[in-house]
Amino acid sequence: MELRQLHYFVKVAQKEHVTQAAEELHVAQSAVSRQIHQLEEELGVKLFLQKGRNLHLTPVGQLFMKRAEAILKELDRSVQEVQEFINPELGEIRIGFPHSLGVHLIPSVVAAFRKTHPNVKFRFKQGMYPSLIRDLVRAEVDLAFISPFPEASEHVTGEVILTERLSAILPPNHALANEEEIDLAQLKDDTFVLFSPGYSLRPIVWDACIEAGFTPRIGFEGEETDTIRGLVAAGMGVSLLPDMALRHTSELQPVCVKVNKPQVTRTIGLIRRKDEKLPLVAQTFHRFLLEYFNVQS
């Protein structure tokens, strides 16, 4: 059994598709199929079943998947530990974060860290709340910024590093655009521009509207803060965005108004796998972040 076979097997199991696995592995589809076939012959079992255009693990394939992932994870950790033992300053930090933090927060903290650790490399992975948790549990990232902070989890632990206020954003010609602050209920008759389902900011805004006594009427949905801001500035509706997402300016700019009642906030957490020691270089970055945000671990 070759290590390459395990890599190919795990990737096909994750993608449930040979072609997609081959594209991500940057190898020919035939090479992946051949290695999977050889692995099945060596084990004497069928690891996958064809269902439509996708491949699904057999029961014995699911059992083998757990072991294969553990082996590859341990191998990656061993290689990383050796590299960090030689020189921790040459290590790599794998970090996940939601799209809304990619404009300002992530670049700011990484730039600050690299002032004293210029040779440390970073591998970034953006995603929505469920995928960030999944990537962390699967050890595809070492640390993840996440919002909202998961209060209870079987697999991850961490700290709230920031609580951020959300403000209303309005088209420049909106009747309330000149107000310094408003109650959210004053927007009950407006059309809202919200994040698509699956993005953590959507339920925060939705729940705030319900608390204010109305159900928001959704006119448009988007997946980026720039998209939400641009649609509002173009007069397509109103929305709420974190203050951090409003620091960036563009030619098409909405009006930002403070929401007095209810106050709408989101928590931003820094999470890691529970009961598992971080790699040395990630430990250094974790300590730096807690100091950066003045958080007690």
d(CA 122, CA 115): 14
Backbone angles phi, psi at 123, to 5 degrees: -120, 120
From first to last of its 297 residues, the chain has per-residue pLDDT tens of 788 899 899 999 999 888 888 988 899 989 999 989 999 999 999 999 988 888 899 999 999 998 998 898 888 878 877 776 666 677 889 999 998 888 889 999 999 999 999 989 999 999 999 999 999 998 899 999 999 998 878 889 999 999 999 999 999 999 999 999 999 999 999 999 999 998 889 999 999 999 999 999 999 999 888 889 999 999 999 999 998 888 766 667 899 999 999 999 999 999 999 988 888 889 999 999 999 998 865
Which fold would CATH assign to domain 87-162+267-292?
D-Maltodextrin-Binding Protein; domain 2 (3.40.190)
CATH number of this structure's domain 165-265: 3.40.190.10
Packed helices 18-25 and 29-43: angle between N→C axes, nearest 10 degrees: 110
Are 3-82 and 87-162+267-292 the same fold in CATH? no
Per domain, the residue ranges of the chain are 3-82, 87-162+267-292, 165-265
The model's pTM: 0.68
At residue 169, the 3 state secondary structure works out as strand
The answer as to CATH 3.40.50.510 being correct for domain 3-82 is: no
